[in-house]
Amino acid sequence: MKTGIFAAAGLATALMLTGCGQNDVKGKTGTDITAKSSAKDIGEAYVNEMTRIADALETVKDKKSAEKAAKTLNKAAEGLNAMQEELDNEAGSTKAMQVLASRAGELAEVQGRMMKEIMRIQTEHPELMDVLGDELNKIN
């Protein structure tokens, strides 16, 4: 996540980290979101992009899988950035706060999965962080 309207979401959900679960990424993505999108659609897209990231990180076992995951991370980061650009105004900030309120549990779960996998990769395969590092920085 870049600094912006979803920074509060990252901070709030990082404080509520929970166990991991597996979700399919279906439905809206960040590139589907416009300034006129509903809070429900924004929430769906945000959770889907974050789930895409967590799912990709869970596949990292070796250099080949890390390279594949990096491509997925890049796509998710592009979706999150597109969403942020569309919502970078007062009305968008209000919708982002509605998303936080309505999807806090899901956001906490998916960010917990992400953190767990990043820690696993750093511990078990620190050399693979070089492959993932640039893409992870686009998300933070």
Distances (CA, A) of 113 to 8, 57, 95: 18, 9, 25
- Residue that has been written with the tokens 């962080």 in this structure: 129
Would 1 be classed as within a structural domain?
Answer: no
Q: At 73, phi and psi to the nearest 5? A: -60, -40
pTM tops 0.75: yes
What is the spatial distance between Cα 10 and Cα 89, in angstroms, rounded to a whole number? 18
Provide the residue range defining the domain that includes 94.
7-135
Q: Tally the domains of the chain.
A: 1
Would 89 be classed as within a structural domain?
Answer: yes
pLDDT band at 18 (very low <50, low <70, confident <90, very high): very low
Give tens-digit pLDDT for 58-100: 999 999 999 999 999 999 999 999 888 887 776 667 777 777 7
Would 66 be classed as within a structural domain?
Answer: yes
Q: Where are the beta strands (DSSP E) in 17-122?
A: none
Would 25 be classed as within a structural domain?
Answer: yes
